């Protein structure tokens, strides 16, 4: 399947699952957004299986060298599990781990579960908003003597944060690592252009991007 095909398929999948919705939604920044993306609605076995496959396609398509994957608690835990299974089914077996919110002081102890953090570590998340989860992940990985080598997310909003850069651009600039996304707002706008019934949504997204978007 071509890269462009799987991205279009992911958008259709997200719309069908009501993960990607169009209308009027107030963001944490107080902006009125014409769309909303809630990856938490990928909440059954089949949708999680397919989500892992889409992530795997994006990772393999980026050709980014990595040794293992890391999923920050809590959202990253099911994501990193599903992605490593999908990668293994594609013939690419990788170890993974995730962190605890609080370090365990009994049993095996520690603040991570799974394989020990080592080598080049790819961080998994759904979106990057303020970049807090990425910062905490980078610090945890580096403190273990491993190297964060990139971040993979479902959607790059391509939207300005507090400054002129987007949250994704800020992460790339701050840590010097690439951010891979299954889709971004350019992908979604391209999808809307080919759907006659979604012209009003496209116009609303175009106006929003003209005001808040980044290249």
Distance CA 165, CA 163 (A): 6
List the one residue out of 1, 40, 35 whose CA is nearest residue 17: 40
* Average pLDDT of span 7-28: 94
Instruction: Tell how far CA 127 is from the center of its chain.
Output: 4
> What pLDDT is attached to residue 27?
87
Domains held by the chain: number: 1
Domain that holds residue 67: 3-212
The full length of the chain comes to: 215
Handedness of CA 50, 182, 177, 136 (dihedral sign): negative
DSSP secondary-structure letter at 40? G
Distance CA 181, CA 41 (A): 18
> What pLDDT is attached to residue 103?
60
Question: The domain spanning residue 159 has which CATH number?
Answer: 3.40.50.2020
44-77, pLDDT tens digit by residue? 999 999 999 999 999 999 999 999 999 999 999 9
- What are the residue numbers of the active site? 104, 106
Tell me the CA distances in angstroms from 126 to 55, 99, 117, 163, one per residue in order.
10, 16, 21, 22
Could you give the strand order of the β-sheet that contains 120-124, starting from the edge strand earlier in sequence?
110-114, 95-104, 68-71, 120-124, 147-156, 179-184
Residues paired with 69 in a beta bridge: 96, 122
Tokens of 118: 């080592």
How much of the chain, in percent, has pLDDT values that exceed 70? 94
* Average pLDDT of span 82-95: 98
């Amino acid at each position: 399947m071509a890269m462009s095909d799987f991205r279009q398929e992911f958008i259709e999948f997200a719309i069908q699952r009501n993960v990607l919705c169009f209308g009027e939604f107030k963001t944490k920044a107080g902006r009125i957004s014409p769309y909303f993306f809630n990856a938490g609605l990928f909440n059954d076995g089949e949708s999680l299986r397919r989500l892992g496959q889409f992530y795997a396609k994006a990772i393999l398509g980026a050709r980014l060298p990595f040794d293992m994957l890391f999923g920050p608690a809590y959202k990253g835990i099911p994501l990193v599990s599903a992605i490593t299974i999908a990668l293994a089914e594609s013939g690419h077996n990788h170890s993974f781990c995730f962190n605890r919110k609080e370090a365990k002081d009994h049993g095996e102890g520690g603040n991570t579960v799974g394989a020990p953090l080592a080598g080049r570590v790819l961080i998994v998340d759904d979106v990057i908003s303020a970049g807090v989860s990425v910062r905490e992940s980078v610090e945890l990985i580096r403190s273990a003597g491993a190297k964060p080598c990139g971040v993979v997310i479902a959607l790059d909003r391509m939207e300005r944060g507090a400054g002129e850069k987007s949250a994704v651009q800020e992460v790339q600039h701050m840590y010097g690592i690439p951010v891979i996304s299954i889709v971004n707002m350019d992908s979604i706008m391209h999808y809307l252009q080919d759907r006659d019934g979604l012209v009003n949504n496209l116009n609303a997204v175009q106006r929003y991007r003209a005001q808040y978007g980044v290249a």
